[in-house]
């Protein structure tokens, strides 16, 4: 498979339409350029903490523009993410020790405190990510085996019909985030909890 990453597609959107709104949340918005540059800066911070290509980061955050930055940064570092929604009503960590038994090294945990430090802009990273590399890990839970979602699986959705403005409703793979961003559309952060369907 060729060298390709979901983040590379979004980097191209940033290059051709950087001033276009990428994510809107309440009265705030983030452009493609801001999203890309902030993710570059956070990726460098994650690498300094030991995150490497093929490694694994667990993100414990609610849906927000900051979460999008964190997930994109992990991909830019060449790593895979597991998103645990901090807005879960019971507040519990749903995966237990199975998260550490999926063939990946012990993960780095990412939360909002990491995103508050350091610069807010940086250039793209030169790390090579291949289409067969894992982008997202859905860990073993309730007897189901872990699912490793490749970059290719998400990237092949590029060109799939999407509206100019799409709601990010909380799919654990974040495909409902990546699909509109790859298309240059606006992602609207849905304020409803991820487990509740929008009315």
Residue 83 to residue 86: CA distance in whole angstroms: 9
pLDDT at 100 over 60: no
pTM for the whole thing? Answer: 0.85
Do residues 79 and 51 lie in contact, with contact meaning Cβ atoms separated by under 8 Å? Answer: yes
Assigned CATH for 6-189: 3.40.50.12780
Inter-CA distances, 100 with 12, 54, 61, 143, Å: 34, 14, 19, 15
Radius of gyration of the chain (CA): 16
Looking at the DSSP assignment, which residues form a beta bridge with residue 85? 61
What local confidence, expressed as pLDDT, does residue 89 receive? 59
Q: Residues 71-83: what's their mean pLDDT?
A: 93
Residue spans of beta strands (DSSP E) within the chain: 21-25, 28-31, 56-61, 80-85, 108-110, 134-138, 147-150, 165-168, 186-189
pLDDT for 32 equals 97
Looking at residue 71, its pLDDT comes to 95
Task: Give the start-to-end residue ranges of the domains of the chain.
Answer: 6-189
Token reading at 19: 């001033």
12-28 confidence digits (pLDDT tens): 999 999 999 999 998 88
Q: Does position 182 have pLDDT exceeding 90, yes or no?
A: yes
For 101-134, the pLDDT digits (tens) are 444 545 677 766 666 655 677 899 999 889 999 9
pLDDT of residue 167: 92
pLDDT number for residue 88: 67
150-168 tens-digit pLDDT: 999 999 988 788 889 999 9
Let me know if 3 is exposed, middle or buried by CB neighbors in 10 A (0-12, 13-18, 19+).
exposed
Lay out the sheet containing 186-189: strands in order across. Answer: 28-31, 21-25, 186-189, 165-168
Given a contact cutoff of 8 angstroms between Cβ atoms, the answer to whether 61 and 166 are in contact is: no
pLDDT at 96 over 60: no
> Count of H helices and E strands in the chain?
6, 9
């Amino acid at each position: 498979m060729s060298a390709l990453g979901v983040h590379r597609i979004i980097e191209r959107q940033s290059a051709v339409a950087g001033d276009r709104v990428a994510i809107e949340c309440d009265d705030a918005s983030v452009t493609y350029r801001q999203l890309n540059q902030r993710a570059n800066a956070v990726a460098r911070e994650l690498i300094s903490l030991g995150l490497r290509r093929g490694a694994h980061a667990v993100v414990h955050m609610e849906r927000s523009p900051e979460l999008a930055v964190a997930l994109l940064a992990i991909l830019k570092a060449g790593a895979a993410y597991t998103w645990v929604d901090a807005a879960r009503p019971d507040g519990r960590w749903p995966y237990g020790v199975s998260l550490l038994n999926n063939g990946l090294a012990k993960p780095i945990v990412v939360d909002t405190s990491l995103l508050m430090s350091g610069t807010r802009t940086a250039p793209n990273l030169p790390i090579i990510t291949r289409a067969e590399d894992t982008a997202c890990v859905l860990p073993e839970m309730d007897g189901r085996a872990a699912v490793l979602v490749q970059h290719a699986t998400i990237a092949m959705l590029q060109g799939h019909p999407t509206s100019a403005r799409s709601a990010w409703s909380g799919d654990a793979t974040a495909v409902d985030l990546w699909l509109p961003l790859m298309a240059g559309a606006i992602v609207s952060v849905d304020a409803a909890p991820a487990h509740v369907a929008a009315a």
